[in-house]
Each structure stands twice: as C-alpha cells, then as structure tokens.
Amino acid sequence: MKISNKILYILALILLFPAFLPNLGLLAFIDDEGIRSLVALEMELSGNWITPTLHGDYYYKKPPLFNWILGAWYQVTGQANEFYARLPTVAIMFAYAASIFGVLGPKYGTKFAFLSAFLLITCGRVIFWESMLSLIDMTFSWVMFMLFMVIYHFMEKQRYWPLFLLSYLLTAIGFMLKGLPAVVFQGLTLLMYFIYCGKIKKLFSLAHIIGGLVFIVLIGGYYAIYDQYNSLENVFATLFTESSKRTAANFSVGDTIGHLLAFPFELIYHFVPWTLLVLGFIRKDALALIRKDRFITFCLLTFGANIWIYWISPEVYPRYFLMLMPLIFISSLYVFDFHKKENTIIYRILDRLLLIICVVISLASWAPLFAESVQFIPNLIPKTLLGVILLSSATIGYYFKKEQRFLYLILFLLSFRIVFNFFVLPHRNANDYGDVVRKQAQHLGTTYQDQELYVYKDLLMEPALSFYMTNTRGQIIPRKYQGFQGDALYIVHPDTIPKLNFEKVDSLLQRHGNKPTYFIGKIK
C-alpha cells in the first residue's frame, strides 16, 4: 500500500507529543538544572528580576534571560517542578526545528526541509538527553542558528543594514542567555563569510557601527539597571572566566592532544544516527558538489569557523554546539542524496546497517515482557505490544519503501523514544539515588517550613537539593556568614562541626559520590 509523504509527515508530527511529553518530569534534576531552576525560583520568591541570586547571594555566572523564561513560566502555570521546568526546552526544540523547516522549504522543497528539521529532533543526543533537560543550551542554540541564517540571507541580498541590525539583536539575546559565546559566534561567522564573499570592507561600514551600538545599548541598558541593585565589579570578570575555563589553557598538553584526536569520533557518536551521513563526503566530486550550492557552502564554512573552539577545548559537552549540528546535518543530507541516486557502495552499506539496527531493536522491544526489573511498571503488556507494533511497522516501512526510508527511520526513532518513556525512564527513576535525595529534601523542606533556615557560610550545596527545599518551603534559604542566632537552623558540612558548638537536629542527604551527608542543626 502506497503511503504518501504527507501522511508520514503527519504521523511524525503526531508522534512528537507521546515521544517528548510523557514522563518528562519523572527524573530528579541534575545539578545544572537545579541551578537554572533555583535562580528562577528565587527571582519569583524575592520579586527581584534584575539581579539573579543563589541562596540569596548574587549569582554572576550567567545572565538572567533563561531564568526570566523559567520564572515567567512558573508564574503562568503556578507550578515549579521538573515537568514545567523542562517543558520550555521541548517547546523551543520544536520552534528550532520549525525554523529549520522554514528556512529550507522555499529553496529545497518540503521533503528535504522536513528531514533536516527532524534530523535535529531525532539525533541521539537530543532525543535521548537534551530534550529532557531544563538547560539554557537548546534556547541559546536556536538563537545562534537564526543568527547564522540572518547573516546568510541578507548577505546574499547585499542588504547590510538589516544584516547588522538583526544579527546584533540576536547576539544581544544570545548574550543575555549565555554571555560571551554569543559574541564569539557572531564575530567568527561575520569575519569568515565576509572574507569568503570578498566584502571585508563592509565590516567597517556605518551599518556595522550602528548594529554594534544596538548591542551596546541593549546590554548596557540592562547592566545600567543592574548597577542600581548591585556593583558590576564581579559581573564581567565572572562571565569571561565562565567562557574560558574549559579551554586548552587550563589543561595539560596530554589532555588537549587526547581531546583533539577523540573529538571527531565523539561528535559522531553523540549525534548518531544522522552523523553517519558524513560518510557521504567520501567521494571525488564532494567539493565540487558543495561549491555548486552557496547555502551548503555557507553551512560548512560556518561549521568550520566555529567548531574549532570546541575541538581545542578539552572539557566540553555536546550540548554546547547544538547550534552547529543542523549545519552539518543539512550539508550531509544534501551530499548523501547523490549517493542514494547513484546507489553507491557507501549508500548500500549505511542502508543495510540502519536496517539491521532497526530489526535488532524491534526484536528487542519484546524484552520488557521477560525482564524482572520492569515488572513493576503498570500496563506492561499493552505498552510492550504498542512498542513492538510501532517499531516493527516503521522497520517494515523502511525495508519496503526505498524512496521514503529516512522518513520511516524518523518514525522509528520517535517510536523508540516512546518505548524509552514507557520502560527506561521509570526503571531509571526507580534505581536513581537522586529520587531518594529529592524526596528527603522535600520532606525536610516541609518539616522545617516554619523555622528560620540558613546555609552556613560558603557550604557548597548541591543545586537540585537546594531547589527542592526552597520550593517546598516557599521561601529562599539564604547564606549566613555572621550573627548566628541560637534559635535558627543551619545547614552545615560535617567537617565544619568540630569548629562549632553545634547541636544536630537532622541530616540531609547528598546525591553525588561517597560524601557524608549535610547536617541540619543549631549553633549555640
């Protein structure tokens, strides 16, 4: 039976919701999520939306835009929890994919644009990790991708005023999300493409100066307001440190060389299966094919102009360069289409490999019926059968429909995420010490809700732990450096206790490592 591309598009869009929403809030926050959520929560609790704080102390490591988004969302929904903190990431991921579709559709047609958009959504790192976390990076990457597109679009039309004004506006938004990396992305991309197009003199034009002033006015305006609440002395030094601390300058030569060698393979691994399409560049005329298309040329030049920052930085996470991955996906898909038309050996090998993977996973989807570790999951049999049907149907479609194979592979990956939601997430949560810590922190927050509670001096509290206690209490847990009150409670580290006249009242678990618990008690 012939199923049109349009029907497959609709099916993929329908599967987005059962793929990305169920159990979104099941797992406890990781540390970075805890920081973002706690800063947003303290803004809401204090009513101060200008100066971010963490335990009442000024927080300098990131500008506040993402915290504003979370805080506003908490107020709209009336909820501050894992599901509502992560939901903006999913919505922004959909918007990011829609932007890719909107950019590519008029030039390359619906199918190419649709595939390119869903390559981002269904690559391994996004579908099984980044889409489930309340972090800045998806939002920041979307803004940076649109920055790249603005530069290309208006450069092709040689309209420099909108190019500089809009690109600096997007850079300002990016700066308010993550700081200096936004400036680096814009600077490297502008320099690269203006040199490539032979328009380097335009970088010294009035339009560029005015664009730069737009950035200065927007960012300067915020920090002028900030200065009314707190000194700017530590702000920019901390932002610079945050942007540079993962570079090669802070690591040994051995670590740097090891990272240089491993990085390309790690990049491919994290974003499979779609990074396997880079094999398509292995052909004699690859460079000629790329040069035929200015947009594909721009994508690869932009990728090359920016990826080296992460290539030479030993401590980076794949989420840091999500804005660059659509560039390589689009280019790889473009070149790989020639392999498909010519039925090359590279196409045949990758095609068979993907089919084998689909068959193996489809057969393995029966496993929940026999695995003791997931027998506690409700409706186990219908969930297993639904997963088998979804995965097997997509595999059968992949095998029989040669012209629609990537569309069926997208359906397969979305179905795989649904099965992941059914079984992997509940199993992971049931065996996650983070859930134990979360429940205890919430219990203690309730227990001591009506008592004065402080963090003792510079104690490094785990951010997720702090969020759960703060959210349950409904009030900020500030740090206390002096003037300790005998009737107040303090969270201290066990190593600190011998130096204090301390009366222990309770214990607070930590999530990481073999560290001792925190103690809650009174300082006499």
Q: Which amino acid would we find at residue 257?
A: I
What mean pLDDT do residues 238-242 have? Answer: 79
Q: Which helix (H) or strand (E) element contains residue 187?
A: helix 181-196
What mean pLDDT do residues 101-130 have? Answer: 96
Contact 147, 167 (CB under 8 A): yes
> What does the block give as tokens for 522?
């009174």
Give the chain's length. 524
Q: How confident is the model at residue 243 (pLDDT cuts 50, 70, 90)?
A: low
The pLDDT tens digits of the residues spanning 403-415 come to 999 999 999 999 9
pLDDT at position 499 is 81
The pLDDT tens digits of the residues spanning 173-202 come to 999 999 999 999 999 999 999 999 999 999
The pLDDT tens digits of the residues spanning 38-56 come to 999 999 999 999 999 999 9
pLDDT at position 247 is 63
> What sign does the CA torsion over 64, 65, 66, 71 have?
positive
What does pTM read for this prediction? 0.94
pLDDT at position 21 is 97
DSSP-derived pairing of the beta strands 453-456 and 518-523: unpaired
Is the pLDDT confidence value at 361 over 80?
yes
Q: Which helix (H) or strand (E) element contains residue 262?
A: helix 253-270
- The three-class DSSP label of residue 47 is coil
Q: Indicate the angle between helix axes 65-77 and 82-108, nearest 10 degrees.
A: 110
Distance in angstroms (rounded) separating the CA atoms of residues 249 and 158: 39
Q: Which residue has the tokens 């970075």?
A: 32
Distance in angstroms (rounded) separating the CA atoms of residues 411 and 414: 5
Is the pLDDT confidence value at 249 over 70?
no
The pLDDT tens digits of the residues spanning 420-461 come to 999 999 999 999 999 999 999 999 999 999 899 999 999 888
What mean pLDDT do residues 449-475 have? Answer: 93
What mean pLDDT do residues 463-470 have? Answer: 95
Mean of per-residue pLDDT scores for the chain: 93
Is the pLDDT confidence value at 386 over 90?
yes
Buried b (16+ CB within 10 A) or exposed e, 45-64: beeeeebbbbbeeebbebbb
Is the pLDDT confidence value at 253 over 80?
no
For the chain, the distance separating the N- and C-terminal CA atoms, rounded to the nearest angstrom, is 79
- Beta-bridged to residue 480, according to DSSP, are 456
> What does the block give as tokens for 249?
């300058």
Q: How confident is the model at residue 524 (pLDDT cuts 50, 70, 90)?
A: confident
Q: How confident is the model at residue 235 (pLDDT cuts 50, 70, 90)?
A: confident
Contact 450, 488 (CB under 8 A): no
The pLDDT tens digits of the residues spanning 64-107 come to 999 999 999 999 999 999 999 999 999 999 999 999 999 999 99
pLDDT at position 248 is 55
Task: Work out the number of other CB atoms within 10 angstroms of the CB of residue 179.
Answer: 23
Task: Work out the number of other CB atoms within 10 angstroms of the CB of residue 347.
Answer: 18
Output the CA torsion 463→468→473→478 (10° steps). Answer: 0
> What does the block give as tokens for 203?
């970088």
Q: How confident is the model at residue 511 (pLDDT cuts 50, 70, 90)?
A: confident
pLDDT at position 232 is 87
What mean pLDDT do residues 236-248 have? Answer: 72
Tell me the CA distances in angstroms from 124 to 81, 325, 330, 360, 416, one per residue in order: 25, 12, 16, 17, 11
Q: Which residue has the tokens 């920016």?
A: 306
Start-end of H helices in 276-423: 286-292, 294-311, 325-342, 345-364, 380-400, 405-419
What mean pLDDT do residues 368-387 have? Answer: 95
The pLDDT tens digits of the residues spanning 1-26 come to 678 999 999 999 999 999 999 999 99
What's the angle, vertex CA 451, arms to CA 450 and CA 452, rounded to 5?
Answer: 130
Contact 333, 295 (CB under 8 A): no
Above pLDDT 90, what percent of the chain? 84
Q: How confident is the model at residue 342 (pLDDT cuts 50, 70, 90)?
A: very high
The pLDDT tens digits of the residues spanning 197-217 come to 999 999 999 999 999 999 999
> What sign does the CA torsion over 429, 431, 433, 438 have?
positive
